[in-house]
Structure 1
Amino acid sequence: MKQESSKAAANRKGWKIAAIGAAAVVVVGGGVGIATASPWNDASPSSSSLPSSSTSAEASGSPGSAAPSPSASSARAEPYTVGLTPTNGAFGVNPVTVAAVTVEGATLDAVELAPRAGGTPIAGTVSADGASWTATERLAFDTEYEFSYTVLDSGGNERRETSRFTTVEPANEADAAMFPLDGSTVGTGQPFEFTFSEPVTKRDAVEKAITVTSTSGQPGAFYWLSDTKVRYRPETFWAPNSTITVDLNLFGVDFGNGMIGNFDKTMTVKTHNTRLAVVDNTTKTMNVYLDGKLDRTFPVTLGTDEWPSTEGYMVVMERYETTRFTAESIGLKPGDPAYYPPTVVNHASRLSNGGAFVHEALPAAQVALGNINVSHGCIGMSPEGAEYFYNTFGPGDVVQILNTDYGPMYVWDGFGDWNVPWNEWVNQP
């Protein structure tokens, strides 16, 4: 038996997906030829048609072109059938499809599956009885393939056959990204966020394709923020100093609407020690706990009654040694009572998309620390306190705000995930 091997280069440009070609069966040497294919597998204009029947042992049993080899004997042969996956002329074939050739009443002598434009053939194996060939490598996106195979019928006649099909085009490939980034180290409060290039309507299939494991053994669950974004977290904060492994097995996964995932990747993220800042509006203080032990206490100022700070858990998103605040970023216009001119602030750590930060209070607000609230919802600190927080807390570390009587930060406004009760998280409608 002859078998060809290789690896097709994946062409993953763009983001979208497709469908799987069905098997084709043809009866050769007498009888009726039968082809089964899904509605989307209409032959392209360049593809040859599948013969509906054959009436002699010398006729081709292939869905493509064929002719007896010069050395073929004229011995009378029994009819045989050939099955192909994908079918001849199929297009939009999902690259996760396992290409295969099967025969009944004959044996396979040689099989090659290769990109029609040239390139390394797809590796595969022939069964011990010569009745089937199965690919052992994946197909690539946006590629026209050609099957070439030789069948020996029961009379010893050698028949050469060909067949073609095309895989998913770039317009139907779908991609995804994860935060935090692969190889990063984060705080114990960091949820994992997955953003998809295309809307996901088959959520169960996508969730099944993403496996999250941790050295702490903590199970977790998904929570969808939209049809392109999903979060994952355990019931309680991640264990400190643990390793979390994420296996994204999205290649060939049907996102819905004809979109197909185009990659697999394994990523790891580590957590450092536990860092928690508890801010109490009643006392106007921040207590910082490292590994559960009180490390520092600082006076703070929070949001006013008109611009209250939200309660509950927040997670540090990003940090700036210096940054520029504008009133326009929170919806204020010149002339509004709470408007303020563009202002440069030091040691700012973002807590929400809506503009809540821990930062150094402006000089005029320093007298308010520990006494009254004067901010637009931020946590203002002394220069020493803000610098300490900036140097100690990073992405994934947790801030808890108490007693503002305003309600928790929403899950989508930054990482308000921990404010969603676990029972609600796992039973999302």
Structure 2
Amino acid sequence: MVRTEDSGDLRPESGRRKRSTGKILVVAAICAAVGAGGIGVATAPQWAHAGMPSESSSPLRNVPGLAAPVVKPVELGVTPTDGAKGVNPAATPSVKAVNGLVKDVVLEPASGGGRVPGTTSPDGSTWTAEDPLEFDTRYQYSFTIVDEAGRETKKSQSFSTVAKANEADAAVNPLNGTTVGAGQPIEIVFSEPVLNKEAMEKAVTVTASSGQAVAWRWYSDRRVRIRPEAFWAANTQVTVDLKLFGVDFGNKMIGNSDVLVSFKVGPQRLAVVDDVTKTMKVYFDGQLVRTAPVTLGDADWLSPTGYAVIMEQERRSKFNAGSIGLKPGDKGYYPPLTVEYANRLTSSGVYVHQALESAWRAVGRSNVSHGCVGLLPADAAWFFNNMTSGDVVQTLNTGAPPVEPLEGFGDWNIPWAQYAKR
């Protein structure tokens, strides 16, 4: 038996050796756990919580205690992702670091050019681009990430935007800055098919100073018309704001620009043509301003009924029977000729114009035209000089069906409750 110096107890010498060996084994086990990446504290004995020399000077240490990785790893999010292709130019590039900071961000075209400007969040964790990107461009990113221990890591990435072959745009009628009649619908023709029509309608805003609500009617994937329930109120200012940049048309086609069109509506001008009375009555803002005799289409070429809108005006227009399917020898054929004061109502060739001299005797008495509205010279000149594109001509009692919508602007012949259609 051996007496220990600290307590006076007698203990077997071999027992003290076994206890010392036990301590060594426990400590070795803990160290092995830490070395393997584990924390180990939950299974450590009480004495393991005693103070130890601080290791806070190490990049992996900031509190005293067991040697363990206490700095959280940085979680990095970069948009667009590295190597991405066909990126929408409207996408907002960004670099975000969780448990770290972002600095020295440079985003620029790989082929050279100015940097894309951006801002860094107040906490330094996020960089966001301020300007949109260009189409068909390869961009390169470079940036530095700083973790919570102050260690810096430089990174670089690249991506490419949508190719020019996948750009899409749109044309709007009426043109910006024009003045039109009260019957002029808005027409948008898209360069590529629009597959998500609901999303496109949300991307386009139509505002009328008159406060009139509008409805959309899609005639195809590329053509849409927009109109109010009744004719535009006189002197209305209409704005069409197409936020198309970055809009996905479908089939990987992307809108390449925004379009803003503003036009003015003049007085409400309406010409009512009645086959029963063979007259035209013209109203400005509801007031009768002129009455004139007319001749209409004969029994073989009835003038279409309903509403039509003046599409264009020509002081002199060349007419050719071949444009309506007639050839020499056919009934109703006439040689090429020039008519005066021509106001087009349909794409197939229905006009309001000065009647040919040979038909003057029929004006106000009988119908001798191929569907056009013929006027005497003085009335034809007055109509041409006082009416304009977008003004409305309503024809009654000919027995023919109404003007088809795409034959011109026959949209007004569709009841309002049925007009909206995708």
Q: Secondary structure at the match of 1:389?
A: helix
Match of 2:78 in 1: 84
Could you tell me which of 313, 317, 322 is aligned with 1:328? Answer: 322
Could you tell me which of 335, 344, 365 is aligned with 2:338? Answer: 344
Alpha-carbon separation, structure 1, partners of 2:235 and 2:85: 49
**Percentage identity across aligned positions?**
52
> Does structure 1 conserve the Cα–Cα contact (< 8 Å) formed by 2:179 and 2:264?
yes
1:99 aligns with 2:93: yes
- TM alignment of 1:147-186, pairs within 5 A: 147-186=141-180
> Does structure 2 conserve the Cα–Cα contact (< 8 Å) formed by 1:106 and 1:152?
yes
- TM alignment of 1:185-196, pairs within 5 A: 185-196=179-190
- What does the per-residue CA deviation read over 1:8-30, in whole Å, with 9 as the maximum and x for residues that have no partner? xxxxxxxxxxxxxxxxxxxxxxx
* Structure with more contact order per residue of length (Cα contacts < 8 Å, sep ≥ 6): 1
Alpha-carbon separation, structure 2, partners of 1:237 and 1:109: 58
Could you tell me which of 383, 394, 400 is aligned with 2:394? Answer: 400
Match of 2:250 in 1: 256
1:314 aligns with 2:308: yes
- TM alignment of 1:230-379, pairs within 5 A: 230-379=224-373
1:131 positional shift: 1.3
> Does structure 2 conserve the Cα–Cα contact (< 8 Å) formed by 1:182 and 1:269?
yes
> Does structure 2 conserve the Cα–Cα contact (< 8 Å) formed by 1:101 and 1:133?
yes
> Does structure 2 conserve the Cα–Cα contact (< 8 Å) formed by 1:201 and 1:255?
yes
> Does structure 2 conserve the Cα–Cα contact (< 8 Å) formed by 1:115 and 1:144?
yes
> Does structure 2 conserve the Cα–Cα contact (< 8 Å) formed by 1:280 and 1:401?
yes
Could you tell me which of 145, 155, 162 is aligned with 2:139? Answer: 145
Match of 1:214 in 2: 208
Runs of at least 4 residues off by over 2 Å: 73-79
1:132 positional shift: 1.1
> Does structure 2 conserve the Cα–Cα contact (< 8 Å) formed by 1:359 and 1:380?
yes
TM-score, with length taken from structure 1: 0.81
Could you tell me which of 118, 126, 135 is aligned with 1:124? Answer: 118
Match of 2:10 in 1: none
Could you tell me which of 388, 399, 404 is aligned with 1:410? Answer: 404
Q: Secondary structure at the match of 1:418?
A: helix
Q: Secondary structure at the match of 2:86?
A: strand
Matched letter for residue 75 of structure 1: P
Could you tell me which of 113, 117, 132 is aligned with 2:107? Answer: 113
1:109 positional shift: 2.2
Matched letter for residue 282 of structure 1: V
1:151 positional shift: 1.1
> Does structure 2 conserve the Cα–Cα contact (< 8 Å) formed by 1:313 and 1:408?
yes
Match of 1:62 in 2: none
> Does structure 2 conserve the Cα–Cα contact (< 8 Å) formed by 1:152 and 1:159?
yes
Match of 2:128 in 1: 134
Q: Secondary structure at the match of 2:406?
A: coil
Aligned-residue RMSD, C-alpha: 1.4
- What does the per-residue CA deviation read over 1:148-201, in whole Å, with 9 as the maximum and x for residues that have no partner? 111112222221111100000000000100001000000000000000111111
> Does structure 2 conserve the Cα–Cα contact (< 8 Å) formed by 1:209 and 1:248?
yes
1:140 positional shift: 1.3
Alpha-carbon separation, structure 1, partners of 2:117 and 2:233: 44
- What does the per-residue CA deviation read over 1:288-314, in whole Å, with 9 as the maximum and x for residues that have no partner? 111211111111000111100011111
Matched letter for residue 204 of structure 1: E
Q: Secondary structure at the match of 1:171?
A: helix
1:246 positional shift: 0.9
> Does structure 2 conserve the Cα–Cα contact (< 8 Å) formed by 1:78 and 1:155?
no
- What does the per-residue CA deviation read over 1:399-419, in whole Å, with 9 as the maximum and x for residues that have no partner? 000111111100110000100
- What does the per-residue CA deviation read over 1:70-116, in whole Å, with 9 as the maximum and x for residues that have no partner? xxx98346422211110000010011111111112221122111111
> Does structure 1 conserve the Cα–Cα contact (< 8 Å) formed by 2:142 and 2:156?
yes
Could you tell me which of 44, 55, 59 is aligned with 1:75? Answer: 59
Alpha-carbon separation, structure 1, partners of 2:281 and 2:72: 87
Alpha-carbon separation, structure 1, partners of 2:267 and 2:278: 26
Alpha-carbon separation, structure 2, partners of 1:91 and 1:103: 23
Alpha-carbon separation, structure 2, partners of 1:158 and 1:258: 39
Alpha-carbon separation, structure 1, partners of 2:319 and 2:342: 10
TM-score, with length taken from structure 2: 0.83
> Does structure 1 conserve the Cα–Cα contact (< 8 Å) formed by 2:283 and 2:290?
yes
Alpha-carbon separation, structure 2, partners of 1:109 and 1:253: 31
> Does structure 1 conserve the Cα–Cα contact (< 8 Å) formed by 2:297 and 2:370?
yes
- What does the per-residue CA deviation read over 1:359-405, in whole Å, with 9 as the maximum and x for residues that have no partner? 11111100000111000000011011111111011110010001111
- TM alignment of 1:3-18, pairs within 5 A: none
Alpha-carbon separation, structure 2, partners of 1:232 and 1:258: 26
Alpha-carbon separation, structure 1, partners of 2:344 and 2:58: 82
> Does structure 2 conserve the Cα–Cα contact (< 8 Å) formed by 1:74 and 1:157?
no
Alpha-carbon separation, structure 2, partners of 1:322 and 1:267: 30
Match of 1:17 in 2: none
1:265 positional shift: 2.3
Distance 1:170 1:74, change over 3 A: farther
Structure 1 gaps of 5+ residues are 1-54, 56-72
**How many residues end up aligned between the 2 structures?**
357
Q: Secondary structure at the match of 2:383?
A: helix
